[in-house]
Structure 1
Amino acid sequence: MAEPSPQRAPASVRHSATIVDLVLAALTAVFFVAVALATGVRSPWQGTIPLALFLGALLLLRRRRPMAVLLLSIAAIFVYHLARESPAGWIWPASVAYFTAAATSRVRWVAAVGVAQLVYSAVDFRWVLDRNVVRYVIHVTGEGLLLAALIAAGLAYAASLRRRERLREADARARAAEERLRVSREVHDIVAHTLAVVGVHLNVAADALQEEPAEAAAALRLAQDVRGRAMADLTSLIDVLREGPGSTAPQPDLASLGTLIADARATGLEVIFDERGDPSAVPAASAVAVYRVVQEALANTLKHSGAVKAEVTIDYRPRSVTVEIADNGHGGDGGAGVPEGHGLAGMRGRVGALGGALTVGPVPGGFAVKADIPVAGSSL
């Protein structure tokens, strides 16, 4: 019930803590008065009820000043016992205060204070020895066991708080690592696609530089435009890979596919783009996966296949999205397949993380990449 952490809790947590404190304060006051009456106190308004109210009111401050609440509670109990011969106990009226203080870093002081109070309690109760030794032993032993239990409970609670905090920190680190891994894949996709497109434009420029300088200049301008867009994307992503805080830009979505297709067409590759169905219901994670699969597949087509034509087909269905990129190149090399590099591994991992499936390989007349990606709330 103690909150050793200095961080400010959310409003809902603070509200719940206040309710808990009010309940504990009320229970302490009522229970103290009830026990006092049950053990022979005849005039509760002469010390018993005021002390009960004081002990209860102190508990409303226990989270902010745990040691002060404990010491004031003990002092009030001490004054109460000096003012009247009461059978009420010494340790148990301050049970909540002991537990709260024991959950802080000052647990040794709590134990020392408790032992001192327990010793005084044993001395103060010595008059019972002549009348009832068993009662005396039960009283002293019971108070000692209660003190040990309260301190142990406070230590256990503090340990559980620290364990939960470590788990939260570990979870935050794991999420940060996953985010950096995701962004590193995004960076790879952007770089691979950009290098493929820019490489094609540079080849065109080199071939046309002597005979068609205007065409060469146009190719270089297109390469420069693609490079500029890629640099903007990389700038927005690179901070996420650093350990410190950084900002992320919006991820590419289905609306960005047109620019991707236009870049591929500008290299001279004939790209047929066919969309079927309604893309509006596709969630963000699936949309990014669709974009990256198309981006990586077209980059592989431009770099490895020698194709002159590619067909991009995206079929939006209620439970899944099917993406297929087929070209007329030799990416398969007779069925050998393409190397399992970072791009293909990234596509496979991205699609697999969403519960989908990716197939890559030769088809009649060329090579194809096909991904089936489920939408949120469904599975293939």
Structure 2
Amino acid sequence: MTPTPRQPATVRHAARLADAALAALTVVGVMTGVLAAEVHESPWEGLIQLSLFLGALMFVRRRLPMTVLLLSIAAIFVYRAGSHFQGGWIWPAWAAYFSAATTRHVRWVALVGVAQLVHATVDFWPVLDRNVGRFVIHIAGEGLLLVLFITAGLAYASVARWRERLRESDGRARDAEERLRVSREVHDIVAHTLAVVGVQLNVAADALQEAPDEAAAALRLAQNVRNRAMADLASLIGVLRDGPGDTAPQPDLAALHMLAADARAAGLDVVLDERGDPSAVPAAPAVAVHRVVQEALTNTLKHAGASKVEVIVEYGARSVTVEIKDDGRAGHDGSGIMERHGLIGMRERVSALGGSLTVGPVPDGFAVRAEIPVAGSKA
């Protein structure tokens, strides 16, 4: 049997406060209602005891709702048997009816209520001969109260279930969003790593016979890039295995130089031009800038056939502007542009922060330009 998960302390505390409030309302309501019915008896002759007993039952209503209902009705029977109170059968047990109706025993609650209503009708039957109107109003009022209390319990339970389903739906949506974000991270890491490692392996294969030192250097660089990627992937896979949490490693703006160095090692002439102060950029825009640069350099290595790339990152007071421009063949026409996963990931990442992304050919090459807001971003 799977144990019931323990509720948070704040939830338990709120539940206890609700029970105490309901108990106090029951005590005050029952005493006020009976005294308002002009019962000419001392309150100590059963009324106070009845009120305190019905109120005390509220503290166990969550665990034993049907027991609380039956005990409440029994207490009302005992009190009425020893007093001259004729003010009603249903309403003193209003909290018990409400609490029991929030559970799956609602049919039994209705059956108990109908049985009590039948008894109230029999008990009040002598009044029918003297005052038909009073009899009808009294019994109809009792029935209306019964329906009201049960309906209120059903409505409360329905709202609680709806809120629970909404919380579960929100949780699943957050989990899906987190996993989608991690999948983008995995794509960016793997694509960049394969592009750089692929170039270095080609260099090593070409230079293996004639320049073994150059081939060895290329293989060492490929191994270093591979090791970094494996460390990143290990952390990301841990997120997928353990659920949402710390999604380290989170790349930062300082890692832009490492991206540029990897691309240079793969044969690209990379110029990295940073303007402004990067220290004021929050974490989320910083990650987006890193991933845009990483994906753009990866695409250049894989598809553009470029020899030179210029990366300009301008840190402004309200936004970060990043532009990656190469001199590759993609600039001659736009027919080769496709919204593959990498470009889609870049666009969605930038859009999620309220920014804009443009991708396309320019007169002498191909350019990726993103503008990402900084003001109001969450670090």
Q: Is the structural similarity TM-score above 0.5?
A: yes
2:321 corresponds in structure 1 to 322
Which aligned pairs between 1:143-222 and structure 2 lie closer than 5 A? 143-222=142-221
Contact 1:59 1:97 in 2 (8 A): yes
Q: Which residue of 2 aligns with 1:20?
A: 18
Q: Could you tell me which residue of structure 1 aligns to residue 308 of structure 2?
A: 309
| Partner-residue secondary structure (3-state), 2:321 | strand
Contact 1:337 1:361 in 2 (8 A): no
Structure 1 match to 2:74: 75
> Are 2:65 and 2:100, in contact at CA under 8 Å, matched by a contact in 1?
yes
Once the 2 structures are TM-superposed, how far is the Cα of residue 337 of structure 1 from its aligned partner?
5.5
Structure 1 counterpart of 2:355, which letter?
G
Match of 1:341 in 2: 340
2:325·2:368 contact (CA, 8 Å) conserved in 1?
yes
User: Residues of 1 paired with 2:244 and 2:133: CA distance?
Assistant: 69
What is residue 60 of structure 1 aligned with on the other side?
A: 59
Q: Partner of 1:88: helix, strand, or coil?
A: coil
Aligned ranges 1:157-306 → 2 under 5 Å: 157-238=156-237, 240=239, 245=243, 248-306=247-305
Question: What residue identity is the alignment partner of 1:38?
Answer: A
**Aligned residue pairs: how many?**
372
Amino acid at match of 2:74: A
Q: Is the 8 A contact 2:315 2:321 kept in 1?
A: yes
* Secondary structure, counterpart of 2:85 in structure 1: coil
CA distance in 2, matches of 1:337, 1:376: 36
TM-aligned CA deviation for residue 85 of structure 1: 2.5
Query: Which AA in structure 2 matches 1:349?
Result: E
| One-letter amino acid of the structure 2 residue matched with residue 55 of structure 1 | L
Equivalent AA in structure 2 for residue 310 of structure 1: V
Counterpart of 1:35, as a letter, is: G
Structure 1 distance, partners of 2:169, 2:114, is 38
Q: Secondary structure at the match of 2:309?
A: strand
Aligned residue for 2:130, secondary structure, equals: coil
Which string of whole-angstrom CA distances, capped at 9 and with x for unpartnered residues, describes residues 262-282 of structure 1? 211222322222222122222
Q: What are the Cα deviations for residues 318-367 of structure 1, in whole angstroms up to 9, with x where unaligned?
A: 11001111223223234545333221222122112221111223334332
**Mind listing any 5+ residue stretches in structure 1 that lack a counterpart?**
1-5
TM-score of the superposition, structure 1-length normalised?
A: 0.91
Match of 1:30 in 2: 28
Per the alignment, do residues 341 and 190 of structure 1 end up closer, same or farther by CA in structure 2, a change over 3 Å counting? same
Relative distance call for 1:308 and 1:192 in structure 2 (3 A) is same
Partner residue, 1:350: 349
CA contact (8 A) 2:175 2:244 kept: no
What's the % identity of the aligned pairs?
Answer: 70
Per the TM alignment, residue 220 of structure 1 is displaced from its structure 2 partner at its CA by 0.9
CA drift of 1:143 comes to: 0.9
Helix, strand or coil for the counterpart of 1:144? Answer: helix
Name the stretch that deviates more: 22-31 or 271-280.
22-31
Alignment RMSD: 2.1
